Amino acid sequence: VAGGSFCGAWASVLSARLSCVLSLFFLLFNMLSVLQFVSDTLIMSEAWSAQWLSMAKSFDDSMLGLPVVQTLVKAFLLRGTADTLRAQIAVAKNRDKGLELKREELQGKIEALKGRIAHHKAEAETLKGSAGSTTGGAIQKRVSDTSGLAEGIDVEALAALGDAFGGEATAQAKALEAATKEELEQLYAKIVEAVTSLRNQSANAMEQAQQEMEKNLALAQAAATEGLSSAEAAAREAA
């Protein structure tokens, strides 16, 4: 070989050696990829997993019976297999059972709260009925007193007094008696109307209606007293 061609021959030999080394390197990686594919395929196979577990169990039975080899096989060879899936299913079932128990507990609390609410509602209705009956009895008594006041006006006595003191006094007495009776009837109707509306209202409006009734009762008593006084005064003037 000529002196000027030696470097080219050396470079060719080096390139050939590097190509062989790199080919072995890539071949190793390709073989590892194939082995990984085969391993993944076998691991996901139920038959292959059962065979390995059977072999591990046989080995454990031949020793002390402790599942040492089975644990190692499941930990390193069969990770992600159906056995792991069954464990995940068991965990999901346990979680579902816990949620069911919690739901039953919350449902019991809800039922207890509903019972308490119903009890308080019934108690409120009882108290409302008691208050309504008590207030209604008092109102009925006052209405009876007002009615008695209206009926207590002696019309015949006023007429006799008018006959005794003259025709003019009689006319004035009758007019006053009619006006007083009409006013009392109007007030009595208002009181009855207030009682009727009171029965349809809530307990907060009872006190206001009772005050209105007392006011009307006072007006009725004042009107009755004023009518009697006016009738007596007219009778005296006519005499």
Comparing 121 with 83, which gets the higher pLDDT? Answer: 121
| pLDDT band (50, 70, 90) for residue 30 | very high
pLDDT of residue 238: 59
pLDDT tens-digit map of 144-166: 655 555 455 554 554 555 455 45
pLDDT of residue 137: 60
| pLDDT band (50, 70, 90) for residue 14 | confident
Query: In whole angstroms, how far apart are CA 150 and each of 30, 167, 232, 233?
Result: 120, 25, 18, 20
Query: In whole angstroms, how far apart are CA 218 and each of 34, 54, 83, 115, 207?
Result: 111, 106, 94, 48, 16
pLDDT tens-digit map of 198-223: 666 555 556 676 777 777 777 767 76
Choose among 197, 218, 195: nearest CA to 149: 218
Is residue 173 within 8 Å of 235, Cβ to Cβ? yes
